[in-house]
Structure formats: C-alpha cells, structure tokens
Amino acid sequence: MLISLAISIAFIVLLVAGAPAAVALGLPSVVYFAFSRVNIATVTYTLFDQLKSFTLVAIPMFILMGNLITTFRLSDDIFLFLKKAMGNKRGYSAKVNVLISLIFSGMSGAAIADVGGLGQMEVQAMEEEGYSLEYAGALTAATSTVGPVFPPSIPMVLYAMLAGTSSIKCLIGGVFPGILMAVMMLLCVIYLDRTHLPKEVPEKYRHLQHAADSVTLSQSFWRAAPALLAVPIVLLSMFFGIFSPSETGAVAVVYVLFVSIFTKRTFSFQKLWNCLKETFFMCASVVIITATGGLFSKVLSMERVPALLVSQINNLTSSPAVILILINLILLVLGCFMSATPALVLAVPITVPLTTALGFDPVHIGVMMVLNLMIGYITPPFGASLYAAAKVCKVSPHRLIKECTILFIPLCIALIFTTFIPQLSVWLPNLMFR
C-alpha cells in the first residue's frame, strides 16, 4: 500500500511540476520495476504489448483524414453551404459554428483538430456578424468537444482498446450523445443571441454580406457535396460492418485525396507531406503516452490498487447512481489537469472493472468517460481547446474563460442525460450488432 501511495504521489508531483504526461506516467513505473524483484524485461514487454492492437491503427487514419480535409480546404465549402442553408439570417455564424463542428467531427474525431482546422474561419465569420472576439473564441472551443464523442472518435478508439471492448460499438455509441450535445449547444446559442448578437452588422463588414449573396444555395450545395459525402462514407461503412474502424479511416483518406485531386484541384505534394508530418507528430504523442500509461497501469494492478479502490467504493456506497456521480466528479477534475489520452490510460483500468461489476455496459461507460474528459478541454488550468481557441483569436486565455462559463451548462446537461439514460449510448450499437 505504501509503495502504491508513493508512486501515485510521484506521478502527481511530476504532473504539477510541468513534466510531460509520458514522463509523469513512465518514470515512477520504471523506478518501481528497478527496485522491485520483478524482471526488468517486464518493462519492455509491457511497453510493446500495450501497443499490440490493430484498433490503434484507426487513430493515425482519422488524424490524417482531418488534416487533409483542413489543408485542402474542403471544410470551406461545407461552411458556405451551411451559411446559405440558413438564408444568411442574423446569427447564422454561431449556429454554423455548432453544426460544422458536428459534421467535421465525422471527419477528424479530435477536438484540437476542430479548433485548429476550423477555428479561424468560425471566429472570423462570427466577428463579421458583430459577435465579440471572446464569445466567438469561447464558442469555438466549446463546440469542438462534440468531435471526440461523435464518430469517428480518437479517444473512443483508445478507450475500446484499453477496455478490451468492441471499437465499432463504442464509436457508434457516440452518435446520439454527440447529436444531443450539438442540440443543447444550439439551444444555448439561440438563447445567448438575445444578449450577444448586435442588431446590425458592423459597418466595416457589410460589404462582405453582399459578396456572399452571389452564390446560390444549390451552387453551394454542389460545391460542398464531395466533402459532405465523407461523413456517410465513414459512418455507413462502420454501421453496416463493411470495414473495421481502421479500414474505414484508410478508405476515407483515399476518398479525401481523390476529391482534392479531381474535384477541388487543391492537391499538392508539399501539402500532403506537411499533413503526413503533422499526423506523425500527433500520433507519436498518443503512442508514447499509451505505452507509458500501460506501464503505470501494470504497476497499479501489481499493487492491487484497482481492486482496493473498487472495494473501498463498494464499502462507501452500493448505489449505482451514486457511484456514477462519483466517477463523473473524479473524471471532471481529472480532465481539468490532463488531456484525454493520459486520463483514459489512467482511469479505464480502474473504472471499467468497477462499473462492469455493477452491470453497466462498457460502451455506455466509454461514452460517458469521453464526454467528461471533453468538458475538461475547455476547463482551466489545462483546457487544451481553450488555449487553442485563444491562439486563433490572438487573445489571452483568461478573456475566454468568462464567456465559456455559461457554455458548460448545455454540455453538463448532455452529460447528465448520457450518464443516467444508458440507452442513448447502447441502443444503436445493440440494434446493429445483436
């Protein structure tokens, strides 16, 4: 017990000191094995064994697909189509911000990719309508949380691998919760328009409104159609079991390249090379954290920490509802200080055995966990999406925090529904994979 406590303290100290998550997870684990009687070869075996999963191949495919769509400007056509579909009515940009995040999530599956890829376009459109820069940045950060819940989802693939459950079921389980998040955000945006939307477009941006009218709705649809088709290609191929998530990602990458070469004609080898490099660096961090996190989990399991925690929680309460609330609170706090990858690596080996013993479906728990951690992406002090949006807006992050506060409400409502109505997550995958 003292050893596991010392390891946990070392992890927290390293994390607070600003050490990378991989170091905070891996260093205490290596020290533990070095001073224990366990064969040191266990370290290398555990590191490689954690990555021995075909499911993980889906992650670089989804990341590359999102990078390609952004780099080859396919998202621009989708934005224009949604704008025209709303008839250029006042307040369109805030609503499009929500909707395009839901659509773009079906192409990237990463919150930061959403902010980095669409953020500048979303913020600029909102600013042109007269919204404040702070509100535009806060909404862009908040809507980016939909992506990792709605399929394809990189955190959901990682959860499935760590929990030893079906990745396809976990991905499909995020469909209704993701849509629910978008609906809650839309209702919130409509309400906030009463105080955040000026009655008139600022004078300096009025000429842009007239320029946009030159494109008709049908023209914008046909321009966006090739990019929009990427979404059903991803979803339907998984829904009907045509491809695995990894194969679906690869097919989608090929499709995006085909569109950029023959339809959009925006392809260049330099852009492709830049996408591949960015994907490599993003995947490297996921792989390193997953490997070192697996090592940390191995140490905790050898010290019987998960079993002890499960026993303590069962002694504290036997109510499944109370246990779910406790898990939610812990994950919300964890998400404030860690990104989704290390948080999942740390929490899944402890949470899944406890919830499975209580009869909860691993798919339901996975969607709940990912949604929890996504809220952390707009919560200080970590708040990855918050800082990314601040960078896009060229303002300090603390200026966005005030505007973000009210945007927690729709996300928390979606979390409550997802937590206590398991059918939101499990009905569709159970229907499709009986």
Contact call for residues 102 and 178 (beta carbons, < 8 A): yes
Q: How far is CA 168 from CA 319, 373, 432, in A?
A: 30, 20, 10
Structure tokens at 331: 């994950």
Burial of 334 (0-12, 13-18, 19+ CB in 10 A): buried
Q: What is the pLDDT of residue 359?
A: 86
Structure tokens at 250: 């690869």
Answer yes or no: is 33 within a domain: no
Give CA–CA dist 371/373, Å, rounded.
6
Q: What are phi and psi of 357, to 5 degrees?
A: -65, -25
Q: How far is CA 216 from CA 95, 292, 309, in A?
A: 19, 53, 60
Give CA–CA dist 370/68, Å, rounded.
25
Contact call for residues 81 and 222 (beta carbons, < 8 A): no
End-to-end C-alpha distance for the chain, whole angstroms: 43
Burial of 72 (0-12, 13-18, 19+ CB in 10 A): buried
Helix %, strand %, coil % of the chain (to 5): 80, 0, 20
Answer yes or no: is 29 within a domain: no
* Bond before 152 cis per omega within 30 degrees: yes
Answer yes or no: is 43 within a domain: no
Q: What is the pLDDT of residue 370?
A: 92
Three-state DSSP state, 39: coil
Residue with tokens 């998400």: 335
Strand ranges for 138-191 from DSSP E: none
Answer yes or no: is 4 within a domain: no
Predicted structure pTM score: 0.82
415 closest CA partner among 381, 363, 357, 373: 373
Domain that holds residue 82: 57-287+302-432
Any residues with CB less than 8 A from the CB of 403 and at least 6 apart, and which? Answer: 132, 134, 135, 137, 138, 139
Domain count, the chain: 1
Answer yes or no: is 44 within a domain: no
* DSSP letter assigned to residue 264: S
Answer yes or no: is 264 within a domain: yes
Three-state DSSP state, 62: helix
Three-state DSSP state, 205: helix
Answer yes or no: is 47 within a domain: no
Q: What is the pLDDT of residue 362?
A: 93
Give CA–CA dist 340/115, Å, rounded.
16
Answer yes or no: is 28 within a domain: no
Give CA–CA dist 267/313, Å, rounded.
55
Digit-by-digit pLDDT tens for the chain (434 residues) are 567 677 777 877 887 777 777 788 888 888 888 777 777 777 777 777 767 776 677 778 877 877 787 788 777 777 778 777 776 677 788 888 888 877 765 455 455 555 656 677 788 788 877 888 888 888 888 888 887 888 878 888 889 888 888 888 998 999 999 999 999 999 999 998 888 877 666 555 554 455 555 677 788 888 888 878 877 777 778 777 777 777 887 888 888 888 888 888 888 889 889 888 888 887 787 788 778 877 887 777 777 766 677 777 777 777 888 889 988 988 888 887 777 778 888 888 888 888 888 889 999 999 999 999 888 888 877 777 777 788 777 787 788 888 888 999 999 999 999 999 999 999 999 888 76
Q: What is the pLDDT of residue 31?
A: 81
Q: How many CB atoms lie within 10 A of CB 196?
A: 20
